[in-house]
Amino acid sequence: MKRSLSILLVAVMLLTVVLAGCTTPSTGGTTSGTTTGTTTGSTGTTASGGDLIGVSMPTKSLQRWNQDGENMQKMLEKAGYKVDLQYAEDNVELQVSQIENMITKGAKVLVIASIDGESLGGVLDQAAKEGIKVIAYDRLIKGTPNVDYYATFDNYKVGVIQGKYIVETLKLDKGEKGPFTMEVFGGSPDDNNAYFFNGGAMDTLKPYIDSGVLVIKSGQTEMEKIAIQGWKAAGAQARMDNLLTAFYADENVDVVLSPNDSLAQGIVASLKAAGYGSASKPYPILTGQDCDITNVKHLIAGEQSMSVFKDTRTLAEKVVGMVSAIMKGTEPEINDTKTYDNGKKVVPSYLCDPVFADVNNYKALLIDTGYYTADQLK
């Protein structure tokens, strides 16, 4: 009896060791990277042979790209890939050298959210020579035939949502005559998206600007005048300071069209410093995009009027789907083959749907879906 018990014990131990061996990843482990990012090996199963996917993000300084990077890494690893995730501190040369490294390391697909959409032609020539496929992530890569797919949100629609909000809130479509004062901000001039956001909003607002219901006191509407390099909050704050001093000494500004949340942060800071937020100087209607935590707090505090929610989980899921299709040799899912001409080709694209967000629906959009916890927004 004793003997058969000990045989059983040994057998159980042996089985445990064998099973543990099966689940031990053959490759992997996480290694801390340089200050510019981290390189992480896959610890998942190797359904796709643990192929390396390079993910190049523009900067850690803006909340959304951290989420984008994290989501991409998590989902790609879950699908069995190794991931080289790098952030380039908004430095074009650094982004190019990080992509070169990914090529050297043998990446099979590159997923790139560019800093300057026009500056990657050279490094993508190298990628093409190695047969590496390239997906432009969120921002179009321009001036090169070596970009295979593009996944983004419907960027023109983002601007339309912002423009419509202004029209509906001021009841301009119901015959309200105003006039209302307005100023317009543009995104970074090296980011193709900036022109789409601006186009969607300004096409929607144009009839009311033309008829004089909306008055842009500075007269500044051209991208050369309104663009904020690098989407920097500080740049937007400085420009808003100048506008308030030069054109709004005796009159309030009623509307500020901001294409995104980082700019809106700078604009709110400027307005606060100029005494907005009181009964005689209420905050203007102020638009945004991304639902960054700081800006959702602005929505709750009544300092910003709306934002546009672009669920980075959806975008990451679509891009991981594209990567998997490419690796299997099948066609990725595409829903737009007309809009995004990069100067060399129309890049087959998948456009996700942006969603209007304000103080009334942020809980349902952001908390109930697990995007943020209620505590993060306190």
Please give the residue ranges that form the binding site for ligand BGC (CB under 6 A).
Answer: 62, 64, 138-139, 191, 193, 231, 260, 262, 289-290, 310
In the complex, least distance from residue 353 CB atom to ligand BGC, rounded to whole angstroms: 14
Closer residue to ligand BGC (CB): 180 or 340: 340
The candidate with the shortest Cα–Cα distance to 282, out of 263, 317, 259, 254, is: 254
The candidate with the shortest Cα–Cα distance to 209, out of 247, 244, 255, is: 255
In the complex, least distance from residue 155 CB atom to ligand BGC, rounded to whole angstroms: 7
Closer residue to ligand BGC (CB): 113 or 213: 113
Closer residue to ligand BGC (CB): 120 or 170: 120
In the complex, least distance from residue 311 CB atom to ligand BGC, rounded to whole angstroms: 11
What does the radius of gyration of the chain's CA atoms come to, in whole angstroms? 25
In the complex, least distance from residue 156 CB atom to ligand BGC, rounded to whole angstroms: 12
Q: What's the distance, CA 182 to chain centroid?
A: 26
Closer residue to ligand BGC (CB): 84 or 290: 290
The candidate with the shortest Cα–Cα distance to 138, out of 203, 214, 55, 198, is: 55
Calpha distance 22→231 (Å, rounded): 48
Closer residue to ligand BGC (CB): 114 or 270: 114
Closer residue to ligand BGC (CB): 39 or 188: 188
Q: Which residues, at least 6 apart from 144, have a Cβ–Cβ distance to it below 8 Å?
A: 120, 121, 124, 125, 342, 344
Closer residue to ligand BGC (CB): 81 or 137: 137
Which residue number has the CB closest to ligand BGC?
A: 260
In the complex, least distance from residue 229 CB atom to ligand BGC, rounded to whole angstroms: 11
In the complex, least distance from residue 357 CB atom to ligand BGC, rounded to whole angstroms: 13
Rounded to 5 degrees, what angle do the CA atoms 58, 35, 49 make?
Answer: 75
In the complex, least distance from residue 239 CB atom to ligand BGC, rounded to whole angstroms: 16
Q: Which residues, at least 6 apart from 201, have a Cβ–Cβ distance to it below 8 Å?
A: 159, 160, 162, 163, 184, 257, 259, 287
Residues in the chain: 378
In the complex, least distance from residue 107 CB atom to ligand BGC, rounded to whole angstroms: 23
The candidate with the shortest Cα–Cα distance to 109, out of 90, 83, 78, is: 83
Contact 83, 42 (CB under 8 A): yes
Calpha distance 55→29 (Å, rounded): 18
Closer residue to ligand BGC (CB): 195 or 247: 195
Calpha distance 129→6 (Å, rounded): 62
Instruction: Give the pair of three-digit tokens for residue 260.
Output: 């995104």
